[in-house]
Every structure is written in C-alpha cells, then in structure tokens.
A and B are shown apart, each in its own frame.
Chain A
Amino acid sequence: MARVLMKGTEAIAEAAIQAGCKYFFGYPITPQNEIPEYMSAKLPKIGGAYVQAESEVAAINMVMGGGATGTKIMTTSSSPGISLMSEGISYIAGCEIPAVIVNVMRGGPGLGGILPSQADYMQATKGGGNGDYRLLVLAPSTLQEAVELTQMAFDLAQQYRNPVMILADGFMGQMMEAVEIKEHISENLPPREPWALGCMRDRGGKRAILKSLYLNPEDLERHNIELQKKYREMEKEVRFEAYRCDGAEILLCAFGTTARIARSAINNLRNEGIKVGMLRPITLYPFPKEKIRELATGLKGVLVVEMNMGQMVEDVEAAVCGKAPVSFFGHAGGIAPSVKEIEEQIRAVL
C-alpha cells in the first residue's frame, strides 16, 4: 500500500485489519467513532465480525471472550469508556488473555470534554481496575507510529498473553497525516492451542480453564508472583526516542502529540544555542526510567510537559531520582501547550 492521507482513527483501524484483526467489539464514544464505523464496514467483508455492544462494559467482556479463543481482537474507546472497561481489563489481565485496547483520550474527570487530552496516563500505566496487574502501554506521536504500534500491539498481546493499550491523545485520533499501512504478518508467536478455549481436541481432550479466582491465599499469591515475573519480563519491551540529547543541559520529557510540539520548541532553542533535548517515552509501561536517569544526571533541569495536570511527573521524578531538579508544565481541558509556552518554560529552567 502506498502512502495515503488518512485520519488517525481510520489509520489505526486499517492497521489492525492489516495485522490480522478480524473481530471488533465496541461502543460509540467521541473522539474515536470512526474506528467502530470503519470496522463495521470492513470486517464483515473479510469474514470477520463487528458487534456493537450495549455498553463499554459489555464490549470489553466480548473482547475477553474473543481473546480467550486466542483470536486477534481489538476494542477502542475514549476516557470515560475506558473507565467502564476497567473491570473487564482487570479480568483479562488476571486470566492472562491477549487483547488490544485503544484509548483515544479526551479531557476529564467525569464527562470532561471531547477535546484532546493525556489525562488517562495514570489510569493506563498504574492499573485502573482492581488488583496488581499491568498493561503494556504504547503512546504514538505520529500517525505512522500509531500504525506501527497498533500492529506491534497484537504481537505483544499474544506473546505475553496480556492486554496491550494504545494510549493516543485526541489529536492522534482526529488529525490527518500521510501513512503507509503494510500487511503485518506475525512471526514466531506462541501457538494458542496449549491454553485457548475451543482447542480441547488439539490438546488431546485436555480442558482449558481461564480464570482469575484463587480462593486459597497461597494460590492467589503464587498467581500474583507469576504475573509479576511476566511484568518484569515485559520490561525488555521498553521503547523511547532520545531527541537532540547530545550535550543537552535541559531535558524535556513528553509523549504523544505533546512531544511533537516540544520538538519544535527544542529546534527553535537549539538554533539560539540553548542546549535542550527530549526523552520521549514510546512505552509508558514499561517506563524508560534507566534512560531518563542516565540522561538527566547532572543536568540543570528536567521539564515534563503534558496535556494533563502532571500525571507523568511522579514517574519522571522516580527515574531522575534526585539527580536533577524536575519541573512541570501542562494544560488540561483540551488545550495543547504551544511552542512558545514550552520555549518560555525551558528558558525559565535555565
């Protein structure tokens, strides 16, 4: 497929189809409605199925069922919808079922607004639902990256038997950009037959039980220890971009669309001779804490810029570990930090 001009939501949908996703369960919510619309038109034509669920609560449980058969499966929603899905996400993680969940974030809390936001960072990276579980969280900053991360998410979900979240701010969903979407063939993924529902014959008559209930405390602790082992293993999936960090005296930390805006500010200030660089986490979990510590040590300051009230700051502070002062600048409500504002903030750190 050649490069085509596409809206972010549609690019994510087509990327999923090209990665082999034939089943989609969802519920309409702005600003991601183009994804269910796209899926409802395309999936029946390729032998798949689109089901419009009665709620996000039902949608995520349909995803759980589809994932439980070892099938590539996706749902998409936006912030309040993801809150409703959090119960199901906890069960999916507890039962170790692969699934891809896209959150095209809008402002909160509560009904908030429909404009772009990054205010679900905490919800995505710290849990959201009950219990000790983790999602792999991927944050695209361009539509091409959204395409690639979406396709990779299906492989990661299958590989770790874990829900993977694409955390895209509303800009990622609603802007248009030229993208190339290739067919993505998964390679070397573990087979579904040993664990998935519907494969009893393949197992020679051995049943599969997918559950998160362990009434015996020792069993539940063992289950949790196994999950934690998996989450430690997932840390090797850490991805980031270090932008113009050579000789930097100030380090910016930003993800998603905010990082794109920050890039312009960095370029402008570099032209003035101000040594500023950026560490952009691509995986928000696992968080690139070692890299941030390495880059931040001894700097004049680390500036975190987000479209929220400072949700990533705690993670950056933990990573920097006192080796440099950490400050924050952000907007909420659907307002993006401007290049000029970021430049002013960087100057203030100097």
Chain B
Amino acid sequence: MKEIKIYERPKSWAKDVHTHYCPGCGHGITHRLICEIIDELGIQDDVIGTAPVGCAALMYDYFDIDFCEAAHGRAPALATGIKRTRPDKIVFTYQGDGDLASIGTAEIIHVANRGEKLTTIFINNAIYGMTGGQMAPTTLIGQKTTTSPFGRDPELAGYPMRMCELLATLETPGFITRVSVAKPKYIIEAKKAIKQAFVNQIEGKGYSFVEVLSNCPTNWGMTPVQAFEWTESAMIPHYPLGVYKNFE
C-alpha cells in the first residue's frame, strides 16, 4: 500500500515545543495557519515576527523564525522600524484586542494610515486573556468579565469597537478583512485571508490587516465547544466577517 502523507507539522514550527495555550483557544489554530503559510510561501528565512503583550507574548518560542518582542500596543511601530530598515524582509505583527484596540490604538491607526508594507494579524476574543479575563474594548454589550461583573454597560464603557470598520475609513489603500477560526469552514477562509495578507506584502502592495475572531473558553467560563458556538452566535453578528477594503 502506498503511504500518503496528509498532515504534518509545519517546517517553520519550532521543533519539540508545545504551546501554553488553553484547550480550545484560537491562538494555536492561528499560529499553525501562519506557519503553514510561511512554509507555502517559502519565506521562513526572510520573515520577521513581532510578539505582543498578552497571551501570545511567548509566540516566539513556537515559530522557528526571527522574532522581536514588542511593548504593549507598540508592535506596529516596532514593525515599522524593522521594515523600513530591512525592506527586503517580510514583517508581521500579531496582536490581541487589548494590545491593538486599547493601548495601541494610536499605533494601529497610524501604521495603517502610513500604508506601511506590513501584515497585521489581530486576534479578537473580546476579553483580556493573559491578565485573567478583564473587559476589552471589544467585549460585547452585556458580556460579563472580571471588570464588568454586571455585564458591559455602554453607558459606562461605550460600545465594542469594530477595528476593521474603523480602519476601513482611512483613505490610504490597504487590505482589511475579518475572519474567524470558530469552525473548519471559517478556518479555511481565515487561511486564505492571512495568506493574501502576506502575499500583498511580498508584492509590495501596502498594509494588510486581518482580524481573527477567536475564542477564550477559560475566561469566557465555557467549554471549548460552547466557546466556538458563542463566537458564531454572539460575536459574528456584532463583528460581521468579510473584506472591508482591498486596495481600492
């Protein structure tokens, strides 16, 4: 019988490491997608990642590529410095919702507005994961967190921020899209979008931003299955999937 390999660990995944992510977390899925794309594009020696502050702070341990840590929210500025001095390299940022949509709002808006030739992967799971489940700018109305114990009240905390829609208002051309990793069908679409975001950079097109609706079963107080279901039933209606801008 002929052996056919149908699944293997990506080459750009560091050897003999296991992630620290909770069962059912979307980071692992998204990390794997990025690694697969790095392999498919053959850019392992030419890609440079910037790690956020948040649950993915240790992501450099899992990728067998060059990496630099960023201060909380500052990855887009850090990546700007890397890319401007090494325009021959492929540079990406990977940020969570507290990092990108709260403390790093200035940096994310201006990196997009300058049209830096960078790729951003934005993990939106509507909560601060690493610090233990506090309210994020993307926390849904009524969602209970450790700092919105009665549910997010828009009178006190405003409404959940839609970063794709906000960035799409900028005149500078870019690629802005929202995907999810809550179901296999979404994961296939997510991979296509992330790959496009890297290809855009290789082609020197400009700034690409992929928001990934992810999940946090631990801090949502759900099982992984319930969390995937909640992403679909609660998050996607507030954060519609789709392409918001594509270099038009």
Partners in one complex: yes
Q: List 30 A-B contacts (CB under 8 A).
A: A25-B80, A49-B85, A53-B110, A54-B106, A57-B106, A57-B107, A58-B107, A61-B77, A62-B84, A65-B50, A65-B78, A65-B79, A65-B80, A65-B81, A66-B82, A68-B78, A197-B67, A197-B86, A197-B89, A198-B66, A198-B88, A199-B66, A200-B45, A200-B66, A201-B45, A207-B64, A209-B61, A211-B60, A211-B69, A213-B58
**Those of A229-267 within 8 Å (CB) of chain B:** none
Residue of B nearest to A94 (CB): B69
Taken together as a complex, chains A and B put the C-alpha atoms of A66 and B86 apart, in Å, by: 8
Number of A-B contacts (CB under 8 A): 130
The 5 closest A-B pairs by CB, nearest first: A65-B81, A61-B77, A62-B81, A54-B110, A66-B81
**A58 and B74 form a contact (CB under 8 A):** yes
Check if A18 is an interface residue, CB within 8 A of chain B: no
* Residues on the B chain within 8 Å of A205, using CB: 44-45
Q: Does A13 belong to the interface (CB within 8 Å)?
A: no
Tell me which residues across on chain B come within 8 A of A197, comparing CB atoms. 48, 66-68, 82, 86, 89
Q: Closest approach, in angstroms, between the C-beta of B128 and any C-beta of chain A? A: 17
Return the contact of A58 from the options B65, B69, B77, B85 (Cβ within 8 A): B77
A65 contact from B46, B67, B68, Cβ within 8 A: B68
- Interface residue from A63, A68, A91 paired with B71 (Cβ < 8 Å): A91
- Chain A 188-231, CB-CB to B under 8 Å as 1, else 0, gives 00000000011111000101111111000000000000000000
Which residues 6-31 in A have Cβ within 8 Å of B in the complex?
A: 23, 25
The CA of A87 and the CA of B78, in the complex, are separated in Å by 13
Query: Beta-carbon contacts of A147-162 to B below 8 Å, as 1s and 0s?
Result: 0000000000000000
CB distance from B73 to the nearest CB of A (A): 9
Report Cα–Cα, A51/B82, bound state, in Å.
12
Q: Please measure, in the bound complex, the distance between the C-alpha atom of A324 and the C-alpha atom of B27, giving whole angstroms.
A: 63
Could you say which of A199, A205, A209, A213 has the most chain B C-beta atoms within 10 Å of its C-beta?
A209
Which chain A residues (24-52) contact chain B, with CB distance < 8 Å? Answer: 25, 49, 51
On chain B, the residues within 8 Å of A209 by CB distance are 60-61, 66-69
Given contacts A65-B68, A207-B64, A211-B68, 20 further A-B contacts (CB under 8 A): A53-B110, A57-B107, A58-B74, A58-B76, A58-B80, A58-B107, A61-B71, A61-B78, A66-B81, A66-B85, A69-B82, A71-B85, A71-B86, A95-B68, A197-B86, A198-B89, A200-B65, A207-B67, A209-B60, A209-B66
State the main secondary structure of chain A at its contact with B: mixed
A204's closest neighbor in chain B, by CB?
B45
Which listed residue (A25, A57, A201, A213) contacts B69, Cβ 8 A? A213
Over the window 98-120 of chain B, the binary record of Cβ atoms lying under 8 Å from chain A Cβ atoms (1 yes, 0 no) is 00000000110110001000000
- Number of B residues near A (Cβ < 8 Å) is 38
Q: A61 contacts B45, CB within 8 Å?
A: no
Q: Are B84 and A51 in contact (CB under 8 A)?
A: yes
Chain B residues with CB under 8 Å of A179's CB are: none
A68:B68 contact, CB within 8 angstroms: yes
Indicate if A186 sits at the interface (CB-CB under 8 A): no
B65, B76, B85 pick with most chain A CB within 10 angstroms:
B85
Alpha-carbon distance A200/B57, docked complex (angstroms):
21
Interface status of B135 (Cβ within 8 A of chain A): no
- Residue pair A65, B69 in contact (C-beta under 8 Å): no
